[in-house]
């Protein structure tokens, strides 16, 4: 049954095939406007799944937008959560909320997260975004239906690329084991994933054979032929004794000329562009949905821009409060180059790749995390770069095998996947075996931005610090990341390097002191033309105390924020600050930390991480070693035990208080406490 009035169990509206085709066009148009407004997002997959989304939500699935929690509804799980724009417009078109709301896509606080959050929007069955999760959840839901003798159906929308993930095969196996014929997986087989064509990244052929060998019923269709889609979705409901996989051949970016079959359109909006002449007008013309007049489109775009203005105002209020503005590059002097730490990793891996003994492994995010710099300008190195697909556990194990045989193996992904999803492989195979595997934990922190909570890694320090024989480093800027990567290459053994996506201040250069395993003391010396020249750096053990009032102990890009806080504290309040850059968390330079505690008696820790992951390690060092007669007050800055969300990187940093202005405020409070 289609969209249903659950109170009387009658259809609210039924659509003909041609009406569905028109609705799919409209949905594509709305998606493209929202994506363009957002300035980021997953265009390709949202367009390839759109016809299926229209058929499922408007025609085949039983659900009631007026009663989203209706027990008798079919469940639709989006395992491929990055196709959220398609989900949002499908829900809106079904009647869950006005489609105009979707224009707030990826904006701070809007609920229209980069990846869906079930707690923020009606009709969303699952907060998803990490690939390979949805089918297992759908199985749980289907088992529940069976326990309850419910005759509803459970759909799971998946990508082809995510079939790289082992958890998908675990799920496929278990669905067959339980002969879940109320479960229907719909696979949007557009043959492209982030790093390239699926066949090149991790060959899946033939997905049909694989599903059949796992004892599923399989239907193959053209995923853009509405009649075939509706027929397959309905036929699957009738099949008995096994779950059904509908493998839908689709075109990534379908309907928008410049996005069709373009690898680069996986994760960008037309605003970013990747071929140079993208426009929303072109997209809307290609799609050909009726009624999208200039006026209507401008009205929709205005909803987004108005929302952004509200956010800008709110955010601006959070960084004021001093006699002048100390924001990055907002003053005539104290200028800073901004560059993301991942760029530094890219430079290092490019250089290290010259050594024939170095290998690198990619997990389908190779450009994002800059590990592709290993071979980008040096195609002859491609035989030493191994594409592992979206399969971080296996990538970790394969890296281990290469390291075992003597290679220096770099493996990486976003931190949540390269320290979290593969945690047990890191612990038991990499660390317990002492293999020379270097793991890059990219996209650390909330500054990942609009992709939202699923992709914002905030737990790596806690995950890695307690694994024996691991090294854990969190360099403070792009240059130090480059330096640290090269330093790690010289150490035989497992190591993790955490770095970030967003551009942050470059505060070190080749003249800055650096010693692996030793923290650095940084002191503010007065305003200069360049921000970085305003500070003096010392190897921790060589620093002579100067009677500072407070210590700020930070890691990663929180170090430049701590430096900016020192500037504010001195200029506004005459307070002297000792900043400590803990670029190596494991092994920890306890001496420099204890000394800061003893000298200044007041410590603030700063981490772009769940609060305490770093801060508690510092607290442990301070508590365990300090002398009884040396009292210390302490405070911590970090993410306050909550998940992240979508928003612009700096909006999120400000929203979560991970900025100099907040550090300075806390420092003053701590100094008060000391008096």
Site residues (CB under 8 A) for a copy of itself, limited to 146-205: 147-148, 164-171, 173-174, 176-178, 202-205
Binders of a copy of itself in range 518-557 (CB under 8 A): none
**How many residues in the chain?**
675
Interacting residue with a copy of itself among 123, 129, 159, 556 (CB under 8 A): 129
Phi first, then psi: what are they for 538, rounded to 5°? Answer: -140, 140
Closest to a copy of itself by CB, 33 vs 671, is 671
Restricting to residues 437-456, which ones interact with a copy of itself according to CB under 8 A? 453-454
Which residue in the set 263, 433, 572, 591 belongs to the binding site for a copy of itself (CB under 8 A)? 433
Q: How far apart are CA 158 and CA 48, in angstroms?
A: 12
Sequence-distant (≥ 6) Cβ neighbours of residue 68 within 8 angstroms: 96, 122, 123
DSSP string for 23-35: HHHHHHHHHHHHH
Cβ closer to a copy of itself: 305 or 630?
Answer: 630
> Does residue 3 interact with a copy of itself by CB under 8 A?
no
Per-residue binding string, a copy of itself, 380-399, x by CB under 8 A, is ---xx-x-xx-x-xx-xxxx
By the rule CB under 8 A, 320 interacts with a copy of itself: no
- Size, binding site for a copy of itself by CB under 8 A: 124
Q: Find the DSSP H helices in 354-435.
A: 392-404, 415, 423-424
Place of tokens 């970013």: 272
Maximum distance among all alpha carbons in the chain?
81
Q: Does 140 bind a copy of itself (CB under 8 A)?
A: yes
Q: Compare residues 32 and 555 and give the one whose CB is closer to a copy of itself.
A: 555
> Which of 209, 298, 317, 329 contacts a copy of itself by CB under 8 A?
209
Stretch that binds a copy of itself, among 283-291, 429-437, 490-498, 515-523 (CB under 8 A): 429-437
Q: Which of 214, 328, 499, 531 binds a copy of itself (CB under 8 A)?
A: 214
Q: Write down the least CB distance from residue 600 to a copy of itself, Å.
A: 12
Write out the binding residues for a copy of itself, residues 343-382 only, by CB under 8 A.
Answer: 359
Angle between helices 17-38 and 294-318 (to 10 degrees): 40
Supply φ then ψ for residue 485, to 5 degrees: -60, -45
Strands 495-498 and 577-581: unpaired
DSSP type of residue 516:
T
Asked whether the beta carbons of 194 and 114 are under 8 A apart, the reply is: no
d(CA 124, CA 68): 9
Bridge partners, 318 (sequence order): none
| Residue in this structure with the two tokens 């700063």, named with its chain if needed | 606
Residue 5 burial (10 A CB sphere; 0-12, 13-18, 19+): middle
Give ∠ CA 387-392-393 in degrees, rounded to 5. Answer: 120
Q: Is 314 exposed, middle or buried (0-12, 13-18, 19+ CB in 10 A)?
A: middle
Stretch that binds a copy of itself, among 236-244, 426-434, 481-489, 557-565 (CB under 8 A): 426-434
User: Nearest approach, Cβ of 628 to a copy of itself (angstroms)?
Assistant: 5
Residue of 142, 439, 520, 522 that binds a copy of itself (CB under 8 A) = 142
210 binding a copy of itself? (CB under 8 A): yes
Query: What span, in angstroms and rounded, lies between the C-alpha atoms of 311 and 447?
Result: 16
CB 674, min distance to a copy of itself, A? 5
645 lies in the site for a copy of itself, by CB under 8 A = no
Nearest partner of 646 among 11, 25, 40, 23, judged by Cα: 40
In order of 115, 159, 374, the CA distances from 264 in angstroms are: 19, 16, 19
C-beta of 636: minimal distance to a copy of itself in Å? 6
Helices (H), 256-323: 280-287, 294-318
Pick between residue 227 and residue 674 the one whose CB is nearest to a copy of itself.
674
Q: Is there a contact between 243 and 196 (Cβ–Cβ < 8 Å)? A: no
Of the listed pieces 21-29, 113-121, 304-312, 472-480, which binds a copy of itself according to CB under 8 A? 113-121
Q: Does 642 bind a copy of itself (CB under 8 A)?
A: yes
Give the shortest CB-582-to-a copy of itself separation in angstroms.
14
Shortest separation between residue 163's beta carbon and a copy of itself, angstroms: 8
Nearer to a copy of itself, 366 or 503 (CB): 366
- Reference 438, options 371, 511, 527, 521; nearest CA is 371
For residue 7, with 0-12 CB atoms within 10 Å meaning exposed, 13-18 middle and 19 or more buried, which class applies? exposed
Integer Cα distance of 82 and 194 in angstroms: 12
- Residue 46 or 616: the one with the smaller Cβ distance to a copy of itself is 616
Measured from the CB atom, the residue of 179 and 271 that comes closer to a copy of itself is 179
Nearer to a copy of itself, 124 or 283 (CB): 124
| Encoded tokens for 507 | 């505060």
Of the candidate residues 125, 502, 608, 661, the single one contacting a copy of itself (CB under 8 A): 125
Name which of 178 and 322 has its Cβ closer to a copy of itself: 178
Q: Which residues contact 9 (CB under 8 A, 6 or more apart)?
A: 72
- Identify residues 401-420 at the interface with a copy of itself (CB under 8 A): 401-407, 409, 416-417, 420
Q: Which of 347, 421, 523, 595 binds a copy of itself (CB under 8 A)?
A: 421
**Site residues for a copy of itself, window 6-45 (CB under 8 A)?**
none
R_g of the chain computed on alpha carbons: 26
Q: How far is the CB of 673 from a copy of itself (least distance, A)?
A: 6
The minimum distance between CB 107 and a copy of itself, in angstroms, equals 20
Give the C-alpha separation, 143 to 595, whole Å. 58
Residues of span 463-522 touching a copy of itself by CB under 8 A: 463, 465-469
- Using the rule CB under 8 A, give the single segment among 88-96, 186-194, 212-220, 248-256 that binds a copy of itself: 212-220
Residues numbered 580 to 639 that lie near a copy of itself (CB under 8 A) are 601, 603, 609-610, 612-613, 615-617, 619-620, 622-624, 626, 628-636
Q: How far apart are alpha carbons 566 and 546 in whole angstroms?
A: 14
Task: HSE, CB side, 13 Å, CA atoms: give it for residue 612.
Answer: 3
Question: Is 1 an interacting residue with respect to a copy of itself (CB under 8 A)?
Answer: no
If the CB atoms of residues 338 and 633 are measured against a copy of itself, the closer one turns out to be 633
């Amino acid at each position: 049954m289609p969209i249903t009035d659950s109170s009387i169990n009658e259809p609210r509206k039924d659509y003909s095939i041609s009406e569905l085709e028109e609705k799919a066009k409209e949905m594509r148009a709305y998606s493209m406007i929202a994506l363009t407004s957002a300035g980021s997002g997953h265009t390709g997959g949202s367009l390839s799944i759109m016809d299926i989304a229209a058929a499922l939500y408007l025609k085949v699935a039983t659900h009631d937008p007026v009663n989203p929690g209706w027990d008798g509804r079919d469940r639709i799980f989006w395992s491929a959560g990055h196709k959220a724009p398609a989900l949002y417009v499908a829900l809106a078109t079904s009647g869950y909320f006005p489609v105009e709301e979707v224009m707030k896509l990826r904006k701070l606080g809007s609920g229209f997260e980069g990846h869906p959050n079930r707690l923020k929007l009606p009709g969303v069955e699952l907060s998803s975004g990490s690939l390979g999760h949805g089918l297992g959840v759908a199985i749980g839901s289907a088992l529940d239906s069976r326990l309850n003798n419910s005759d509803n159906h459970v759909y799971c929308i998946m990508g082809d690329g995510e079939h790289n993930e082992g958890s998908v095969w675990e799920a496929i196996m278990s669905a067959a084991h339980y002969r879940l014929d109320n479960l229907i997986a719909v696979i949007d087989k557009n043959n492209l994933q982030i790093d390239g064509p699926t066949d090149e990244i991790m060959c899946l052929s033939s997905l049909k054979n694989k599903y059949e060998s796992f004892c599923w019923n399989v239907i193959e269709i053209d995923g853009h032929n509405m009649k075939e889609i509706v027929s397959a979705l309905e036929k699957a409901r009738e099949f008995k004794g096994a779950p059904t996989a509908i493998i839908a051949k689709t075109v990534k970016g379908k309907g928008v000329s410049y996005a069709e079959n373009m690898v680069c359109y996986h994760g960008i909006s037309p605003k970013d562009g990747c071929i140079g002449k993208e426009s929303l007008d072109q997209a809307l013309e290609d799609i050909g949905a009726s009624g999208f007049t200039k006026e209507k489109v401008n009205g929709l775009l205005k909803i987004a821009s108005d929302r952004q203005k509200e956010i800008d105002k709110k955010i601006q209020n959070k960084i004021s409060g001093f006699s002048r503005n100390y924001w990055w590059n907002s003053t005539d002097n104290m200028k800073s180059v901004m560059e993301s730490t991942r760029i530094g990793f890219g430079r290092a891996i490019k250089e290290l790749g010259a050594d024939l003994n170095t290998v690198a492994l990619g997990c389908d995010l190779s450009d994002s995390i800059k590990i592709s710099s290993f071979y980008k300008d040096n195609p002859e190195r491609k035989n030493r770069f191994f594409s592992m697909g979206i399969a971080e556990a296996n990538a970790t194990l394969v890296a281990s095998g290469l390291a075992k045989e003597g290679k220096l193996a770099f493996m990486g992904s976003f931190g949540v996947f390269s320290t979290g999803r593969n945690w047990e492989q890191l612990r038991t195979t990499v660390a317990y075996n002492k293999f020379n595997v270097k793991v890059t934990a990219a996209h650390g922190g909330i500054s990942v931005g609009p992709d939202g909570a699923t992709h914002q890694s905030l737990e790596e320090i806690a995950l890695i610090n307690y694994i024996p024989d691991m090294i854990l480093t969190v360099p403070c800027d792009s240059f130090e990341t480059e330096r640290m990567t090269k330093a790690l290459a010289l150490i035989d053994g497992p190591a993790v390097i955490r770095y970030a996506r967003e551009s942050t201040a470059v505060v070190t250069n080749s003249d800055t002191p650096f010693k692996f395993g030793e923290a650095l003391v940084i002191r503010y010396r007065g305003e200069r033309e360049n921000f970085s020249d305003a500070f003096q750096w010392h190897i921790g053990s060589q620093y002579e105390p100067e009677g500072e009032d407070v210590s700020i102990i930070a890691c990663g890009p929180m170090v430049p924020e701590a430096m900016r806080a020192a500037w504010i504290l001195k200029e506004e309040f005459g307070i002297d600050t000792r900043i400590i850059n803990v670029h190596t968390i494991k092994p920890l330079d306890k001496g420099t930390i204890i000394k800061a505690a003893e000298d200044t008696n007041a410590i603030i820790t700063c981490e772009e991480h769940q609060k305490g992951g770093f801060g508690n390690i510092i607290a442990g060092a301070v508590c365990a070693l300090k002398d009884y007669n040396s009292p210390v007050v302490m405070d911590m800055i970090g993410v306050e035990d909550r998940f992240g969300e979508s928003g612009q990187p700096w909006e999120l940093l400000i929203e979560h208080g991970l900025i100099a202005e907040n550090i300075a405020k806390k420092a003053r409070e701590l100094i008060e406490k000391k008096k």
